[in-house]
Amino acid sequence: MGQKISIKTKHRDGPVLRTKGLGKTYPNGTKALKDVDFTLHSDEFVSVIGSSGAGKSTFLRCLNRLIRPTEGMIELQGKNITYGNGNGLKQVRQQVGMIFQQFNLIPRLSVLSNVLAGRLRFNQKHISYGTSIIRLFPKLEKEIAFECLKQVGIEHLAFQRADTLSGGQQQRVAIARTLAQEPKVFLADEPISSLDPHSAEKVMEILLQINQDQKIPVIINLHHIDFALRYGRRIIGMADGEIIFDGKGKDITQDIVDWIYQGQEEEKCKAERIRAYA
């Protein structure tokens, strides 16, 4: 694409995550991500917006190596994590935690077991999810899991089966499970898309709180533009696999939003107009 907008902010610490020329071409030839240069600091709360198919999910999935990039590189705290396999890859997925629109809990297990399973995935190799995995965990592990449940405000639901919970509560369990991994970066792909507005707000507040209290940077793909602008201190606009806007939430205008969501035909003249705002 042509004109891009990037508004830089100064940070005291070094970046937690950095990409250079990051790209993903799927085996069928779709270029879903193109030449993405992106830097993330620990205090940042980022909303990623853009039309369906813009490449938002591909971007996040590359960052935690759920999918393998085909170009460029990703650094996590200065370490190249782009192409590792085996234990290295496992460690990346633990350090770059992610939640999804569908909460991906184990329905018949308790809330606490689900949160413990978050730690288990990364700490032990072989375990079958029997009727109770709780007893397999040392006390400290359970304390950590309870602490994570407390942070999302549902410790009182610890012993309920996950599938008896509302959508909003299940997403909070998923957040607690990710927190239990002790991630360095927290990714969320459309985390509120299947929630009612009240639950959606609660989930966004929790993610913001995690960012502010624990200094874990958060990147959220959001379809709901109003939530994206309300919570995102930094907004990334994607179109056609590229980052075409990167700036502060307060700097974004309706024109910029229209441009990010627009097809490409009017791109050039819009970009001229946006220069006045940027």
Ligand X SMILES: Nc1ncnc2c1ncn2[C@@H]1O[C@H](COP(=O)(O)OP(=O)(O)O)[C@@H](O)[C@H]1O
Residues making contact with ligand X (CB under 6 A)? 26, 28, 30, 32, 50, 52-58
- Which stretch, 9-17, 53-61, 162-170, 248-256, contacts Mg ion (CB under 5 A)? 53-61
- Smallest separation (angstroms) from ligand X to the CB of 226: 18
Q: What residue 202 binds from Mg ion, ligand X, none (CB within 5 to 8 A, per partner kind)?
A: none
**Contact (CB, 8 A) for 45 and 251:** no
Nearer to ligand X, 238 or 256 (CB): 238
Phi, psi of 267 (to 5 degrees): -50, -45
Q: Which residues contact 176 (CB under 8 A, 6 or more apart)?
A: 111, 115, 118, 145, 148, 149, 151, 152, 154
- Smallest separation (angstroms) from Mg ion to the CB of 223: 8
Q: What residue 154 binds from ligand X, Mg ion, none (CB within 5 to 8 A, per partner kind)?
A: none
Where do the H-state alpha helices sit in 124-196?
139-151, 167-180
In this structure, what token pair is assigned to residue 267?
């791109």
Nearer to ligand X, 66 or 145 (CB): 66
Nearer to ligand X, 26 or 129 (CB): 26
Residues counted in the chain: 278
- Smallest separation (angstroms) from ligand X to the CB of 241: 7
In this structure, what token pair is assigned to residue 200?
């959606």
Q: Which residues contact 248 (CB under 8 A, 6 or more apart)?
A: 7, 9, 233, 234, 235
- Smallest separation (angstroms) from ligand X to the CB of 140: 38
- Smallest separation (angstroms) from ligand X to the CB of 186: 18
Distance CA 27, CA 8 (A): 34
- Smallest separation (angstroms) from ligand X to the CB of 76: 21
Nearer to ligand X, 78 or 263 (CB): 263
Instruction: Please choose, from the candidates 227, 247, 226, the residue with its C-alpha nearest in 3D space to the C-alpha of residue 237.
Output: 247
Nearer to Mg ion, 56 or 119 (CB): 56
Site for Mg ion in 54-73 (CB under 5 A): 56-57
Nearer to ligand X, 32 or 252 (CB): 32
Q: Distance from CA of residue 104 to its chain's centroid?
A: 15
Distance CA 181, CA 271 (A): 42
Q: What residue 129 binds from ligand X, Mg ion, none (CB within 5 to 8 A, per partner kind)?
A: none
Binding site for Mg ion (CB under 5 A): 56-57
